[in-house]
Amino acid sequence: MAVLETIPVLLSSSSSSSFLDTSTVIALTVFFALLCACIIIGHLLEENRWANESITALLLGLCCGVVVLLITKFHSSRILVFSEDLFFLYLLPPIIFNAGFQVKKKQFFKNFTTILLFGVVGTVISFCLISLGAYLLFKRIGVTSLDIKDYLAVGAILSATDSVCTLQVLNQDETPLLYSIVFGEGVVNDATSIVLFNAVQSLDVSNIDLLTALKLLGTFLYLLFTSTALGIAAGLISAYIIKTLYFGRHSTDREVALMMLMAYLSYMLAELLNLSGILTIFFCGIVMSHYTWHNVTESSRVTTKHAFATISFIAETFIFLYVGMDALDIDKWKSSKASPGTSIAVSSTLFALVLVGRAAFVFPIANITNCIKKRPSTKIELRKQFIIWWAGLMRGAVTIALSYNEFANSNTTLTEDSALMITSTIIVVLFSTVVFGSITKPLIEAVLLRNAKPVHSDATDIPSLDDLQILFLENCDPSDQGGSNEPTRRKGSLSLLISNPTSTVHYFWRKFDDKFMRPVFGGRGFVPFVPSSPTGAADPQTS
């Protein structure tokens, strides 16, 4: 718990017989008390249009930071120091894993192309515009000590979105298309931003040419596919082990523990191999929900579903508390000797670049996908494009963590411009989360007209006539059709494959899955060999 070392001046007269470090105990007590307060206040504000648990946790963290500063008489306090290790190793993995574990897979993969366009291409466009804008504008403000690599890092840092506030308002069942795009883009965006940031760190800015750009592209694609493959492999290995060894015969605790440890192991292996741990653990969660979850006993199914969601919820709340308290760390504010006007100018410039950078890809990409899609229910209307744009304006802990990584050096004191960049980043995070986050719920209700009953459903899972036709065509017994009907069947399947490829690909995947994958790795329909085990459980997610 070294990352939570705290106020050394408090309770310095602790008993010498105690084997616990008093500062660590104080830190844990403070954070656990604040977590309890966040849960209670979040429950009381459940129906409030202007508040949610993320904003509540952030404001509580700020209030606690003020109290700490008053107690320490505005001296440095280590409870306020943001720890990258704590964030990336302990808090982020359970959030990303639960996101993959709980996602509705059919809806997610139906929109996978759109998600990749927003999360990868869009993030790259935003990265380029923010970097270029910072390079052109910062020198006019008075920030002169940054080099090319710093400007590129600023682009990667501020391209990392935090759509938690928006996802707390959107409903996965009411607006599945919009939810899957916002949710999927958020996960892919975080991974892309971190990959871009790491690529910038290893970039030789003195020799940038076309070959360097191609190397960066190749590195990104390599990280994308290898990270995804590692996550899928970890999920399949866990499914095979649990299916083969029947852990539930002796202890359901071992099943739950193995799932948790295999998921965390996949993340750590990815980081060890310099891959994207976010993509790895996300796809590990998807595979585990599709195979492993069905191979465990009924009690383990209930336990894992709620345990993963609970751990993720606590981690999210802890992050917002942590960010709120860190915002008032006095050291970095003292190191930044910029005037209030300069600080506001830099923060405003950064946020304006975020607005422009996001608008530059959301609306064009959405309209390009609308031209490709034929079904009205799968098109992204202008009001939904606005919600997607709005959802990506908020910045969070990933942004702060990357900012510390770039501009803070534990071995040396902060320079004035480095401290200015960190404090300006914190201002952007606080402003975007509190102001934009508080407006999110009423804005979405107004834009999406929640209280009105739409004529056309947003759900793409509702089968069209083509879906029903292909279902009957493919499931029909050839022996019952006769030779004269065979050309008609082939023609219908081919035309539907061209006109409606997503449903057809999903159907063939299900046939492949049932024939080859599930006999080996288990999954839906597999019955664990345990006395009094159920004959099967319904999948809580749409496969």
Task: Give the mean pLDDT of the chain.
Answer: 80
| pLDDT over threshold 50, residue 90 | yes
What is the pLDDT at residue 456? Answer: 43
pLDDT tens for 378-410 read: 789 999 999 999 989 999 889 998 998 888 865
| pLDDT over threshold 50, residue 309 | yes
Decide if 441 contacts 464 (C-beta within 8 A). Answer: no
What is the pLDDT at residue 105? Answer: 84
pTM for the whole structure: 0.80
Q: What's the rounded Cα separation, in Å, for the pair 309 and 291? A: 18
The position carrying tokens 């510390």 is 404
Decide if 27 contacts 79 (C-beta within 8 A). Answer: yes
Decide if 397 contacts 190 (C-beta within 8 A). Answer: no
Q: What's the rounded Cα separation, in Å, for the pair 8 and 22? A: 8
Q: What's the rounded Cα separation, in Å, for the pair 252 and 296? A: 8
Decide if 396 contacts 162 (C-beta within 8 A). Answer: yes
CATH topology of domain 84-450: Na+/H+ antiporter like fold (1.20.1530)
Q: Which of 155, 147, 131 is nearest to 206 (CA)?
A: 147
Q: Which of 214, 168, 260, 189 is nearest to 402 (CA)?
A: 189
Instruction: Tally Cβ neighbours within 10 Å of residue 309.
Output: 14
415: left (phi over 0), alpha (psi -120 to 50) or beta: beta
Instruction: List, as own/partner pairs, every contact residues 461-467 make where C-beta atoms lie below 8 angstroms and the sequence separation is at least 24, other chains included.
Output: 461/106, 461/107, 461/176, 461/542, 462/377, 464/375, 464/500, 466/496, 466/499, 466/500, 466/503, 467/500, 467/503
| pLDDT over threshold 60, residue 451 | no
Mean pLDDT within 192-198: 88
For 227-244, letters b (16+ CB in 10 Å) and e give bbebbbbbbbbbbbbbbe
What is the pLDDT at residue 351? Answer: 95
What phi and psi values does residue 311 have, to the nearest 5 degrees?
A: -60, -40
The percentage of the chain sitting over the pLDDT mark of 70, rounded to a whole number, equals 80
What is the pLDDT at residue 18? Answer: 54
pLDDT tens for 350-364 read: 999 999 999 999 999
Residue 101 amino acid letter = F
Decide if 414 contacts 408 (C-beta within 8 A). Answer: yes
pLDDT tens for 248-300 read: 777 788 889 999 999 999 999 999 998 889 999 999 999 999 999 999 888 88
pLDDT tens for 227-247 read: 999 999 999 999 999 988 887
| pLDDT over threshold 90, residue 85 | no
Identify the band that residue 491 occupies on the pLDDT scale cut at 50, 70 and 90.
very low
pLDDT tens for 120-146 read: 999 999 999 999 999 999 988 888 888
| pLDDT over threshold 60, residue 470 | no
Identify the band that residue 3 occupies on the pLDDT scale cut at 50, 70 and 90.
very low
| pLDDT over threshold 50, residue 495 | yes
The position carrying tokens 């741990």 is 277
Q: What's the rounded Cα separation, in Å, for the pair 429 and 325? A: 13
Q: What's the rounded Cα separation, in Å, for the pair 502 and 510? A: 12
Higher-confidence position of 67 and 537: 67
Higher-confidence position of 521 and 525: 521
Based on C-alpha coordinates, what's the Rg of the chain?
A: 25
Q: What's the rounded Cα separation, in Å, for the pair 244 and 520? A: 9
What phi and psi values does residue 346 have, to the nearest 5 degrees?
A: -65, -45
Q: What's the rounded Cα separation, in Å, for the pair 285 and 101? A: 4
What is the pLDDT at residue 227? Answer: 92
The percentage of the chain sitting over the pLDDT mark of 90, rounded to a whole number, equals 31
Identify the band that residue 307 occupies on the pLDDT scale cut at 50, 70 and 90.
very high
What is the pLDDT at residue 142? Answer: 81
In 373-415, which residue ranges form alpha helices assigned H by DSSP? 382-391, 397-407
Mean pLDDT within 295-308: 91
Q: What's the rounded Cα separation, in Å, for the pair 329 and 419? A: 12
| Domain boundaries of the chain, sorted by first residue | 84-450
